[in-house]
C-alpha cells in the first residue's frame, strides 16, 4: 500500500518537473506572438486588399481584416478565430490549405502564405488571440 503511494508521489513529482521545465523553455515557439507587430503585417500583405471595408471579400463575407476587432468579429456567418485552438479556427484552416481549394485563402491566383506566416498566426491563436 505504502509502496503504491510512493510510486504515485514520484510520478506526480516527475510530471510537475516536466511542466516546470516546459515553462522555462527558451524555444522560439514559446515566445509570445504580438497581434500588432507579427500578425497584422501578414494580414496586410495577403488579405487586406479584399478584406477592407468595401473590398470584395468584405462585401461578400462581412469579414474585415483591417483591425483586431474585425478579425475577432469574423464573417457574417460567425467567428473565424477560436482563442487557444488554431486547429479548429476557420482562418487557420483556410490559410494552411486544409479546406477545399476553391475556398482556401487568399483567393484566386494569389500566392499562399509561407509556413512561417501560417505558423505565426496559429501560435498567436494558441496563445489566446490577444490584442497585444
Residues within the interface to ligand HEC (CB under 6 A): 46-47, 49-51, 56-57, 60-61, 63, 75, 77, 80, 90-91, 94-95, 103, 105-108, 110, 113
Report, in Å, the least distance between residue 2 CB and ligand HEC. 57
Nearer to ligand HEC, 50 or 122 (CB): 50
Nearer Cβ to ligand HEC, position 22 or 60? 60
CB distance 74 to 24 below 8 Å: no
> In degrees, to the nearest 5, what angle opens at C-alpha 25 toward C-alphas 68 and 96?
45
Find the shortest distance in angstroms from Cβ 29 to ligand HEC. Answer: 21
Q: 513529482: which residue's cell?
A: 13
Q: Judged by CB, which is closer to ligand HEC: 106, or 123?
A: 106
CA distance 21 to 40: 31
Amino acid at each position: 500500500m505504502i509502496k503504491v503511494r510512493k510510486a504515485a508521489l514520484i510520478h506526480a513529482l516527475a510530471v510537475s518537473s516536466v511542466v516546470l521545465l516546459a515553462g522555462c523553455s527558451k524555444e522560439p515557439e514559446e515566445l509570445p506572438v504580438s497581434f500588432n507587430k507579427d500578425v497584422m503585417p501578414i494580414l496586410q500583405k495577403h488579405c487586406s486588399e479584399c478584406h477592407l471595408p468595401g473590398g470584395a471579400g468584405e462585401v461578400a463575407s462581412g469579414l474585415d481584416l483591417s483591425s483586431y476587432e474585425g478579425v475577432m468579429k469574423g464573417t457574417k456567418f460567425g467567428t473565424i478565430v477560436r482563442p487557444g485552438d488554431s486547429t479548429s479556427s476557420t482562418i487557420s484552416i483556410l490559410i494552411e490549405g486544409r479546406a477545399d481549394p476553391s475556398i482556401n485563402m487568399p483567393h484566386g491566383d494569389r500566392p499562399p502564405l509561407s509556413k512561417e506566416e501560417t505558423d505565426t498566426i496559429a501560435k498567436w491563436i494558441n496563445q489566446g488571440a490577444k490584442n497585444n
